[in-house]
Chain A
Amino acid sequence: MEFLRPASWQEALAAKAEHPTALPIAGGTDVMVEINFDHRRPDHLLDLNRIGELEEWETGTDTVRLGASVPYARIMSGLRAELPGLALASHTVASPQIRNRGGVGGNLGTASPAGDAHPALLAGGGAVEAESVRGSRLIPIDDFYTGVKRNALAPDELIRAVHLKKATGPQQFSKVGTRNAMVIAVCAFGIALHPDTRTVRTGIGSAAPTPIRAGTAEEFLTAALDEGGLWDSRKPVPPAVAGQFAALVAGAANPIDDVRGTAAYRRHALGVMARRTLGWTWEQYRAEG
């Protein structure tokens, strides 16, 4: 195994072009586990830790350009207002030590359905900035996850950053695990209200081959809020609407039985989390009115 240590982003892109199978490593919280247990033996490891700009973010008018290696701990402390859903999700990642090392780029690179960031990214909306020596492109987050632990990156591309829409309304993130901290998701749910577009977006984790949005549930709720005039009146969401939303979220999942939980439980729990997080976000929206 060869260890590549590019000193700059351009060098990193060149190295990835030369060795398309090279495995990028930043925090190492996924990669090192895989290597230690011999689950993975890449010919080349591409160490991104010397590239400082990956650990920075820029806040624009409408978006945050979040460097791929910004650790979760800094997202929690520095971006709570701009990216509340992702900040909440970040707080559920493993332990403080891991949160000091791991970042969203790793979650996206691994593309595990259990990655904690994904539901928040899907709900908040945004795009992945992928770059290679051939150039840079933005991959909408909705198109990024292509299969179990597969993503839309080309072999020569690296994740430079994620472009995330700054929150225009309340966001929430909930995750079920069988322990009260430091636990991998049995299933997870993210929701974001977008009052600017009068839409609601969602994200589901660990309950399908890839992270997914609950499209039908979003459309139903968006329509119901619209028809009820609730964005303007800020009246409570009728229980029947919340219940239907929860049922549609549960129905959107395509979970399996595994050692962490049953498919039936995952569906059930997603419904409960959908109803509760809708309640929390809507209450906050009402309170801010």
Chain B
Amino acid sequence: MGITRTPTSLTQSSATRGGIGESTLRPDGTLKVTGEFAYSSDLWHEDMLWGYTLRSTVAHAAIVSIDTGEALATPGVYAVLTYDDLPTEVKHYGLEIRDTPVLAHGKVRHHGEPVALVAADHPETARRAAAKIRVEYEPLPVITDEASATAPDAVLVHEGRDDHHIGHVPHPNIVHRQPVVRGDAAAAAARADVVVSGEYVFGMQDQAFLGPESGLAVPAEDGGVDLYVATQWLHSDLGQIAPVLGLPERKVRMTLSGVGGAFGGREDLSMQIHGCLLALRTGKPVKIVYNRFESFFGHVHRHPARLWYEHGATRDGRLTHVRCRIVLDGGAYASSSPAVVGNAASLSIGPYVVDDVDVEALALYTNNPPCGAMRGFGAVQACFAYEAQMDRVAAELGMDPVEFRQINAMEQGAVMPTGQTVDSPAPVAELLRRVKSRPLPPERQWETTEGADVRALPGGLSNTTHGEGVVRGVGYAVGIKNVGFSEGFDDYSTARVRMQAINGEAVATVHTAMAEVGQGGVTVHAQIARSELGVTQVTIQPADTQVGSAGSTSASRQTYMTGGAVKNTCEAVRAKVLDLGRRKFGTYHPAWATAELLLEDGKVVTDGGEVLAGIAEVLDDEVVDLELEFRHRPTQAFDLRTGQGNGHVQYSFAAHRAVVEVDTELGLVKVVELACAQDVGKALNPLSVVGQIQGGTTQGLGVAVMEEIVVDPVTALVRNPSFTDYLIPTILDTPTIPVDVLELADAQAPYGLRGVGEAPTLSSTPAVLAAIRQATGLALNRTPVRPEHLTGP
């Protein structure tokens, strides 16, 4: 039918064999490295149209009028849609609070908000027609920070809120507020020998995934639509898309397309509804691809934050109490702000034992760009601040900063500020010990026999120093991240596994809706199927909505949840296969009835190693095909006044040591080494685990020294929506990242594993900041650090 679908099934056999615990190679690795992998931006359909989104040029304004006449009259244009063209009564969407209009209605609330859509036979035609749409704006006061948001006479970003947070927030421009109160912080403060307080600022980081938002919507004969798209959670998208289109969910068939990175930025919808609306209106397939500029407006960012902390400690280095206040800027729409608040509040103290705690975290509605999920999800901002505080308290006490952390480090059995007991390994002190005990990289590592190697110096190829002004610094940090969805959310995944014999060989097919965004689920699922079913060849089917929800590829949860679902279904399939065997061959050998039976190397074997039959022989013409859901243990909501509750499923820990060289005269930084130690419970694929840790570490480095979306404090306009001015680390900015992986099993988790992806993003940033502070002697309460912060005014 003349359609390029992406991706196709990934069949993994001899080239990628290996069960759990082996460093099986990615089935799509070669394709990606050679540029042959088809991403969602490569989707194509004959006779397709191109969609384009007209976005607001101002941050907060009433829409006086929209004139689409000239755009519609442009040759090659098939449709121009505004809010008035939305087909049903449902005109909003949102992850938790449906506060986001599909197209702006009455007013725009942030720079780059979608206002109108155009479909045309060429992308340029669509773009040029969109430029002919005349939108008349009347400026409204711009809400940019806590002061302007919560002023008594503040303009409300959203009027008439009826979401379930409005009852407990102190102001309608606050999305959600979560206190956590435990013990008596005021009384404990009186016992402190030293008290350190500080204010910290965390800049707005972008996920900066390389594959821009894109997808293809194809209208179907039954009045429905087939949508191919790069996303993080197909079923969550579906639940938001279908009502706006006025279609039952079964008529919106979604297939995951090739995803070029996500990091949280694809949890919210981008082009999904827009593409479907245009396809259904025109009766033609419609493709939408954002360019890099538009991508910066096409997804939410990491919440920028202001954080106030007070730590107290006794002379012998024990924390007495912590008080903190975390203000997250959620921007114009809620996205996942409530859950980010819950994380920031519950993880605000870090991986330390503190009995007396008084915490407040909240997220604002402002006219800044909407912020939501990004790797680390609320725990990142807190870690930056509490780790800076830990260094300052240690300095105040005259203690070694690592030793001070180790004295206060939590371990298994510790109680969180939420009252939850940490009931699996929490090797915080050990992780710190491991990074500290590594030998340091040699001093003056830039010196060669032919002079200075500028690539090893701050400034790199820009040739700014040959060693002048360069001072080394070393810093440490450790963090705590939750794994999986928290606060009572019914978090589950689904896996369908089919086993059959083809040409005398037992093979397995795994079908889930898990979004492969680069994390390696497609590799791990095949490893699990091999280990559980004793087969070599496993086919991973494309993720789509023809199978039950897998939940989001986020919260470090997919190996735990969808990996757990695959394991769970495989076990049920194995039981069926063994039942089949017993029925067919049970009478021939008593072991069928008496022994523990396993599937190994294509055979049914006893636990004693005796071969009873080939699996293919057992299956013959039968197909065993099961689809089952898998859940982690339930969690509880946090009490809205005290924050008490068993809110999290599992905790994950990583520690970093950063070694930096700082050109103290120019304020330029070279991170020389960023060593990490992390407990992963069980490394299902050790190579992937190291890759995740190195990637998370690098993303944390990025927001330490360069990555920031700059928003004008007066106009709330984004000033650097490009890769020219939003910088992410190149390979020359990426240090050596030695990784020390611990495997201390969590008895609750499949294979004992612990979610890996986010924890290293937490501690990387404060470790780099601590190292820069040591090199410069500056306080540095803000990240990212810019050169002018290091050189003074």
Q: A176-B462, A180-B455, A180-B668 are in contact. List 5 more A-B contacts (CB 8 A).
A: A177-B462, A180-B461, A182-B730, A260-B725, A280-B466
B459 part of interface (Cβ distance < 8 Å) = yes
CB-CB < 8 A to B465: which residues of A? Answer: 276
**B459–A172 contact, CB under 8 A?**
no
CB-CB < 8 A to B791: which residues of A? Answer: 265, 268-269
B729 part of interface (Cβ distance < 8 Å) = yes
**B127–A264 contact, CB under 8 A?**
no
User: CB-defined interface of A125-161 with B at 8 Å, one 1/0 digit per residue?
Assistant: 0000000000000000000000000000000000000
**A181–B732 contact, CB under 8 A?**
yes
CB-CB < 8 A to B730: which residues of A? Answer: 179-182
CB-CB < 8 A to B668: which residues of A? Answer: 176, 178, 180
CB-CB < 8 A to A276: which residues of B? Answer: 464-466, 468
A38 part of interface (Cβ distance < 8 Å) = yes
**Provided the pairs A179-B727, A180-B733, A259-B719 are in contact, do residues A273 and B464 lie with their beta carbons within 8 angstroms?**
yes
**B788–A264 contact, CB under 8 A?**
yes
**Provided the pairs A265-B667, A265-B791 are in contact, do residues A180 and B724 lie with their beta carbons within 8 angstroms?**
no
Taking CB atoms and an 8 Å cut-off, the chain B residues in 644-676 that contact chain A are: 665-668, 670
**A92–B293 contact, CB under 8 A?**
no
Residue of B at shortest CB range from A39?
B293
**Provided the pairs A182-B730, A259-B719, A269-B666 are in contact, do residues A174 and B725 lie with their beta carbons within 8 angstroms?**
no
**B787–A186 contact, CB under 8 A?**
yes
Distance in Å: Cβ of A170 to nearest Cβ of chain B: 13
**A262–B788 contact, CB under 8 A?**
yes
Taken together as a complex, chains A and B put the C-alpha atoms of A179 and B727 apart, in Å, by 7
**A175–B462 contact, CB under 8 A?**
yes
Taken together as a complex, chains A and B put the C-alpha atoms of A268 and B458 apart, in Å, by 17
CB-CB < 8 A to B727: which residues of A? Answer: 178-179, 183
Please report the total number of B residues contacting A with Cβ < 8 Å: 38
Taken together as a complex, chains A and B put the C-alpha atoms of A91 and B463 apart, in Å, by 9
**Provided the pairs A178-B786, A182-B730 are in contact, do residues A272 and B461 lie with their beta carbons within 8 angstroms?**
no
Taking CB atoms and an 8 Å cut-off, the chain B residues in 702-751 that contact chain A are: 705-706, 710, 719-720, 724-725, 727, 729-733
Distance in Å: Cβ of A161 to nearest Cβ of chain B: 26
Taking CB atoms and an 8 Å cut-off, the chain A residues in 201-217 that contact chain B are: none
**Provided the pairs A180-B459, A276-B468 are in contact, do residues A38 and B127 lie with their beta carbons within 8 angstroms?**
yes
**A178–B706 contact, CB under 8 A?**
yes
Distance in Å: Cβ of B631 to nearest Cβ of chain A: 44
CB-CB < 8 A to B441: which residues of A? Answer: none
A173 part of interface (Cβ distance < 8 Å) = yes
CB-CB < 8 A to A36: which residues of B? Answer: 291
Distance in Å: Cβ of B54 to nearest Cβ of chain A: 13
Distance in Å: Cβ of B193 to nearest Cβ of chain A: 40
Residue of B at shortest CB range from A184?
B724
**B665–A180 contact, CB under 8 A?**
no
User: CB-defined interface of B19-58 with A at 8 Å, one 1/0 digit per residue?
Assistant: 0000000000000000000000000000000000000000
Residue of A at shortest CB range from B671?
A180
Residue of B at shortest CB range from A177?
B462
User: CB-defined interface of A250-286 with B at 8 Å, one 1/0 digit per residue?
Assistant: 0000000001111011001100110010011000000
**Provided the pairs A180-B730, A180-B733, A269-B666 are in contact, do residues A261 and B788 lie with their beta carbons within 8 angstroms?**
yes
A192 part of interface (Cβ distance < 8 Å) = no
Distance in Å: Cβ of A40 to nearest Cβ of chain B: 14
**A37–B293 contact, CB under 8 A?**
yes
**A179–B706 contact, CB under 8 A?**
yes
**A92–B468 contact, CB under 8 A?**
no
Taking CB atoms and an 8 Å cut-off, the chain A residues in 19-68 that contact chain B are: 36-38
A117 part of interface (Cβ distance < 8 Å) = no
CB-CB < 8 A to A280: which residues of B? Answer: 466
A221 part of interface (Cβ distance < 8 Å) = no
One of A91, A179, A260, A269 near B733 (C-beta < 8 A) = A179
Distance in Å: Cβ of B298 to nearest Cβ of chain A: 15
Residue of B at shortest CB range from A265?
B788
Please report the total number of A residues contacting B with Cβ < 8 Å: 33
A123 part of interface (Cβ distance < 8 Å) = no
Q: Which 10 A-B pairs have the closest CB atoms?
A: A180-B460, A265-B788, A181-B732, A175-B462, A180-B732, A259-B719, A179-B727, A181-B730, A272-B665, A180-B733
7 A-B pairs in the complex with CB atoms less than 8 angstroms apart: A174-B463, A176-B787, A177-B462, A179-B706, A181-B733, A261-B786, A269-B667
B793 part of interface (Cβ distance < 8 Å) = yes
CB-CB < 8 A to B729: which residues of A? Answer: 179
Taken together as a complex, chains A and B put the C-alpha atoms of A216 and B729 apart, in Å, by 38
CB-CB < 8 A to B719: which residues of A? Answer: 259
Taken together as a complex, chains A and B put the C-alpha atoms of A172 and B793 apart, in Å, by 27
Taken together as a complex, chains A and B put the C-alpha atoms of A182 and B462 apart, in Å, by 9
Residue of A at shortest CB range from B712?
A259
Q: Secondary structure at chain B's binding surface: helix, strand, loop or mixed? A: loop
**Provided the pairs A179-B706, A181-B732, A269-B787 are in contact, do residues A92 and B461 lie with their beta carbons within 8 angstroms?**
yes
**Provided the pairs A259-B725, A269-B787, A272-B665 are in contact, do residues A181 and B461 lie with their beta carbons within 8 angstroms?**
yes
Residue of A at shortest CB range from B729?
A179
Distance in Å: Cβ of B668 to nearest Cβ of chain A: 7
Residue of A at shortest CB range from B466?
A280
CB-CB < 8 A to A182: which residues of B? Answer: 730, 732
Taken together as a complex, chains A and B put the C-alpha atoms of A37 and B123 apart, in Å, by 12
A88 part of interface (Cβ distance < 8 Å) = yes
Distance in Å: Cβ of A90 to nearest Cβ of chain B: 10
Taking CB atoms and an 8 Å cut-off, the chain B residues in 437-455 that contact chain A are: 455
Taken together as a complex, chains A and B put the C-alpha atoms of A7 and B667 apart, in Å, by 49
Taken together as a complex, chains A and B put the C-alpha atoms of A183 and B722 apart, in Å, by 12
Taken together as a complex, chains A and B put the C-alpha atoms of A22 and B727 apart, in Å, by 33
**Provided the pairs A179-B706, A261-B788 are in contact, do residues A91 and B466 lie with their beta carbons within 8 angstroms?**
no
Taken together as a complex, chains A and B put the C-alpha atoms of A105 and B127 apart, in Å, by 31
Taken together as a complex, chains A and B put the C-alpha atoms of A134 and B654 apart, in Å, by 70
Interface centre among B455, B462, B788 (most CB of A within 10 A): B462
CB-CB < 8 A to B705: which residues of A? Answer: 178
Distance in Å: Cβ of B28 to nearest Cβ of chain A: 24
CB-CB < 8 A to B793: which residues of A? Answer: 264
Distance in Å: Cβ of A116 to nearest Cβ of chain B: 9
Taken together as a complex, chains A and B put the C-alpha atoms of A179 and B51 apart, in Å, by 35
User: CB-defined interface of B480-517 with A at 8 Å, one 1/0 digit per residue?
Assistant: 00000000000000000000000000000000000000
Distance in Å: Cβ of B259 to nearest Cβ of chain A: 23
**A172–B710 contact, CB under 8 A?**
no
Taken together as a complex, chains A and B put the C-alpha atoms of A92 and B705 apart, in Å, by 20
**B293–A174 contact, CB under 8 A?**
no
One of B459, B464, B787 near A261 (C-beta < 8 A) = B787
Residue of B at shortest CB range from A36?
B291
User: CB-defined interface of B48-89 with A at 8 Å, one 1/0 digit per residue?
Assistant: 000000000000000000000000000000000000000000
Distance in Å: Cβ of B171 to nearest Cβ of chain A: 31
Taken together as a complex, chains A and B put the C-alpha atoms of A260 and B459 apart, in Å, by 15
**Provided the pairs A176-B668, A183-B727, A265-B667 are in contact, do residues A259 and B460 lie with their beta carbons within 8 angstroms?**
no
Taken together as a complex, chains A and B put the C-alpha atoms of A181 and B665 apart, in Å, by 19
**B464–A175 contact, CB under 8 A?**
yes
Taken together as a complex, chains A and B put the C-alpha atoms of A184 and B723 apart, in Å, by 10
CB-CB < 8 A to B460: which residues of A? Answer: 179-181
User: CB-defined interface of B293-306 with A at 8 Å, one 1/0 digit per residue?
Assistant: 10000000000000
Residue of A at shortest CB range from B670?
A180
CB-CB < 8 A to B667: which residues of A? Answer: 265, 269
**B788–A259 contact, CB under 8 A?**
no
Taken together as a complex, chains A and B put the C-alpha atoms of A37 and B290 apart, in Å, by 11
CB-CB < 8 A to A273: which residues of B? Answer: 464, 666
Taking CB atoms and an 8 Å cut-off, the chain A residues in 77-107 that contact chain B are: 88, 91-92
CB-CB < 8 A to B786: which residues of A? Answer: 178, 261
**A259–B710 contact, CB under 8 A?**
yes
CB-CB < 8 A to A179: which residues of B? Answer: 460, 706, 727, 729-730, 733
Taken together as a complex, chains A and B put the C-alpha atoms of A186 and B127 apart, in Å, by 32
**A180–B462 contact, CB under 8 A?**
yes
Residue of B at shortest CB range from A37?
B293
Residue of A at shortest CB range from B468?
A276
Residue of B at shortest CB range from A273?
B464
